[in-house]
Structure 1
């Protein structure tokens, strides 16, 4: 992560978030703006590895910026940083393509750790948000029959890797647990993402819960 965009309208919060990013990702170059229009202009001028977006802004909803970010750079890692933890805001952001959702009322050190987790392939989700997401999909699974892992085309080994991924294991840990190389883990992970039609660990975890590969 070499470049980051912060969209936050409150000056103190903007400075605070910039400090968190600098601590979590040493050497990162940060552009910080206070409204959607300035953010859109920045996207036309620079490409970002990470975007940290507030939701409630003077000129609109930060969630509405996600599609434009994707249009300029599909690889930008988008994380919402907000005080809102209700289902409406959460699932609207995830539906638009947010890859993380952090609550700003957490301790600074926890936010630093969650941002650092991005570089390790760990989706940045505040604990209460993760529980809410898993509960939502567990309720959906209860209401609607879910496909089995067999129906997705996952092999037995891929299901094992998915189970460990969903439980937060790092690639090296999965390698040790299954006695396979790190490159083999990476290859299995790529196949899992393709077969489940997901783009990252967070979505794969949700699918693992929905499929019953892990408990919610």
Structure 2
């Protein structure tokens, strides 16, 4: 019998009722356990150092040190910690900025609580796809900030042919499972290829990977 891995969660929100609501929601998931709660960005950084959570649920709006800045600081110290930003806003610019700071995901607080579990499981398993809307946002951002020099040269491509094939599918928004079905390899193999790709390119997440590939002409806009 395979033992279920327990995901250790740190909740970060400056409002007590919000932390309570999140706590109640997570209590329904047997494979998630709350190991701490923080009321500020500073406390979140301290508890991350002390408790080493697997996943942080981070409110985006907090006084002094907001969720985006806190995410950046925590990821610099603990790159392996997964962070999901929580917000009441559906503004895609917030999503884009959160992922730029290193977050792995983005949850709207008013989303049906039943949708939280599969989403968080996908984050923990590194299987969050890049949406087509987000790819368009990446492309628009790049287009609005043209390269300063026309003599810009692309870096040498360190990826294998198979890795490039997977990179292009990731940039189109496909999940690991969809990629495995499309190119007839296991989902586990897809994940291994992605780990190699991100390691070779020193990239934080799928959004950064997509942006890097587009900027360097490896994927068509």
TM over 0.5: yes
2:11–2:34 contact (8 Å) kept in structure 1:
no
1:152–1:195 contact (8 Å) kept in structure 2:
no
Number of equivalent positions: 209
Q: Secondary structure at the match of 1:152?
A: coil
2:26–2:32 contact (8 Å) kept in structure 1:
no
* 74-83 vs 198-207, greater mean Cα deviation: 198-207
After superposition, the Cα gap between the structure-2 partners of 1:182 and 1:45, relative to the gap in structure 1 and judged at 3 Å, is: closer
Give the structure 1 partner of residue 14 of structure 2: 9
Separation in 2 of the partners of 1:43 and 1:86?
28
After superposition, the Cα gap between the structure-2 partners of 1:10 and 1:204, relative to the gap in structure 1 and judged at 3 Å, is: same
Separation in 1 of the partners of 2:92 and 2:176?
29
Give the structure 2 partner of residue 138 of structure 1: 139
Separation in 2 of the partners of 1:55 and 1:194?
28
Residue among 47, 52, 57 paired with 1:47: 52
Give the structure 1 partner of residue 161 of structure 2: 156
Deviations 1:81-130 (A, max 9, x none): 112344654444333322222221211122222112113322388x7xx7
Matched, 1:170 2:171: no
* 133-142 vs 206-215, greater mean Cα deviation: 206-215
Question: Shift in Å at residue 55 of structure 1?
Answer: 1.7
Separation in 1 of the partners of 2:199 and 2:49?
31
Q: Secondary structure at the match of 1:112?
A: helix
- For residues 80-91 of structure 1, the aligned pairs below 5 Å read 80-86=85-91, 89-91=94-96
Question: Shift in Å at residue 151 of structure 1?
Answer: 5.5
Q: Secondary structure at the match of 2:169?
A: helix
Q: Which has the higher helix share?
A: 1
Q: Secondary structure at the match of 1:57?
A: coil
- RMSD, matched Cα: 3.5
Q: Which blocks of at least 5 consecutive residues in structure 1 are unaligned?
A: none
Separation in 2 of the partners of 1:169 and 1:40?
31
